[in-house]
Structure 1
Amino acid sequence: MVRCWNRSENLVEEAQCTDGAPAAAPRSHFPHKAVWVSLAASLLLLVITLGLTGKLGLSQLHAQSSQIVRISAPDQSSGVLINQSAVVDAQKHLVTFTVTSLANQTSTVLFDIKHGLICYKPVEQSSCFLRKMEQPDFDNVQSFLQDQTHQQSHVQLSWNETQRRTEFLGVLANSQVDPSALDEPLKDLCQDRSVHWTTRSDGPGKQRLVYFCIDICFPSNICVSVCFYYLPE
């Protein structure tokens, strides 16, 4: 093997030559730019995959923790079956009722067991109404939390076995609450409405009128008609 020198104007290049053989090809440079592009694409694909996997896992976990209970109960006056549904989220300690009246108007009642509050969102009003949960309220919602074996179930209450009662709630004067100060479940429910505190009472009296009522039925064969009226200023 003979060492050869090629001289140009500005630089001297060294090449290896053989007798009569062509000069060896110069050593190729490693494509650094292509490697970095490939690594960046792989990393982006990994992040997207992990994000989709995590989102799907959270959705499946939320679906497993939620149970939809459909309740059919006869109306006290007409005997027509009233259909209600309750979404039970055992993980967040929430029971959300969707109540449809005979006039085909739907109201929402949220039992926030963790914070001990009940929030009423009637369809025909522009306000939400709050009340602190009492022991009978905790007992009633426990009938939902005790059975979490089925994701969907249906409960049909009979007329003869159902206990019915009426509760009156007075809306307190000057008791408006800032919705932004509420916890997340209540804030989401009443974000576009005013919020007022209520208190339980024996009745509105003859001088006051009942403005609306919401009927709620529980799987424990108890139906409660909650009626609201406004207390004097």
Structure 2
Amino acid sequence: MSTSSVVVAARREQTDRGAAKGHRMVRCWKRSDTRLEEEQCTDGSPVASPWSHFSHKAFWVSLSALLLLVIVALGLTGHLGLSRPHSQIVRIAAPDQHGALINQTAVVDLQNDLVTFSVTSPANRTSTVLFDVKHGLICYKPADQDSCFLRTMEKSDYDGVNSLLRKSAHEQSLFQLSGNETQRQMEFLGVLASSQVDVTSLEEPLQALCQDGSVHWTQRADGPGKQRLVYFCIDICFPSNICVSVCFYYLPE
């Protein structure tokens, strides 16, 4: 008995919205005397190659791995940037005019252009001098006083502070100045008692230093004169072998 192939078409058209080219798959069945067999047939549409599926999958896997590496690299860079200290402690050792060693420490904040000196006198009293390079101000807070004294920075002040900023950028933390090579200067600042400053109008570093006391402007002067008395002096030394003794007195009202 001859076997005749009868194709019973059970054609179902499936419209796949995810397919880009609108391929249609047709399922065909071949009937024999003993069993019903399924065979693949097409309606003329191209058949997708297995290599195209592999290339598509490999592309997305590679892209995901690349994005993961970028995220990890950015995370490590941010962590290292945050963990890097913004301030550096620098110690400057220099003898005063009588040969006694000046105990002086400077905290250098390179990010905010701030240098804060802590100067301890032989009587173990510590005064604070803050150089705000960004705003061009110097703030003096003498030991055992609640008042702060302001003045604007001049060229010599910028030169001294910049020498410290440049050298501390190379992570040098100790400067030993020689007594024979150190140049000494003396400056007199007159306190303008009538020009008191509102602390809240100052920038944050100055507010933190002077929040518990009054703030007064000062101006450079030739000297107090015989009728005026010098109330206090602060010695500051820079790595450029220059030490400045800043002395204050009150101007007449």
TM-score by length of 1: 0.72
DSSP-derived class of the 2:173 partner: strand
Deviating above 4 A after TM superposition, structure 1's stretches of 4 or more consecutive aligned residues are: 56-59
What fraction of aligned residue pairs are identical, expressed as a percent? Answer: 71
Cα displacement (A) at 1:57: 6.6
AA of the residue aligned to 2:90: V
CA distance in 2, matches of 1:88, 1:156: 17
2:33 is matched with none
Equivalent of 2:188, from 143, 163, 168? 168
CA distance in 2, matches of 1:60, 1:213: 39
CA distance in 1, matches of 2:222, 2:162: 25
CA distance in 1, matches of 2:118, 2:232: 16
CA distance in 1, matches of 2:244, 2:83: 34
Cα displacement (A) at 1:232: 0.6
RMSD across aligned C-alpha pairs, in angstroms?
A: 1.7
CA distance in 2, matches of 1:143, 1:68: 15
CA deviation vs aligned residue, 1:29-57 (integer Å, no higher than 9, x gap):
xxxxxxxxxxxxxxxxxxxxxxxx9xx87
CA deviation vs aligned residue, 1:157-210 (integer Å, no higher than 9, x gap):
111000001100000131100101101110111110100000000000000000
1:74 is matched with 95
CA distance in 2, matches of 1:82, 1:202: 25
- How many residues were matched structurally? 176
Cα displacement (A) at 1:58: 7.4
DSSP-derived class of the 1:167 partner: strand
2:244 is matched with 224
CA distance in 1, matches of 2:208, 2:241: 30
AA of the residue aligned to 1:198: T
1:185 is matched with 205
DSSP-derived class of the 1:208 partner: coil
CA distance in 1, matches of 2:233, 2:217: 16
CA deviation vs aligned residue, 1:102-156 (integer Å, no higher than 9, x gap):
1000010000000000000111222000000000000000111112121x51101
Structure 1 spans left out of the alignment, 5+ residues: 1-52
CA distance in 1, matches of 2:82, 2:217: 34
1:60 is matched with 83
Change (3 A) 1:68 1:168: same
TM-score by length of 2: 0.67
AA of the residue aligned to 1:60: S
Pairwise mapping of residues 113-152 of structure 1 onto structure 2 (< 5 A)? 113-147=133-167, 148-150=169-171
1:99 is matched with 119
Structure 2 spans left out of the alignment, 5+ residues: 1-75
CA distance in 2, matches of 1:58, 1:155: 27
Cα displacement (A) at 1:59: 5.9
CA distance in 2, matches of 1:149, 1:165: 27
2:20 is matched with none
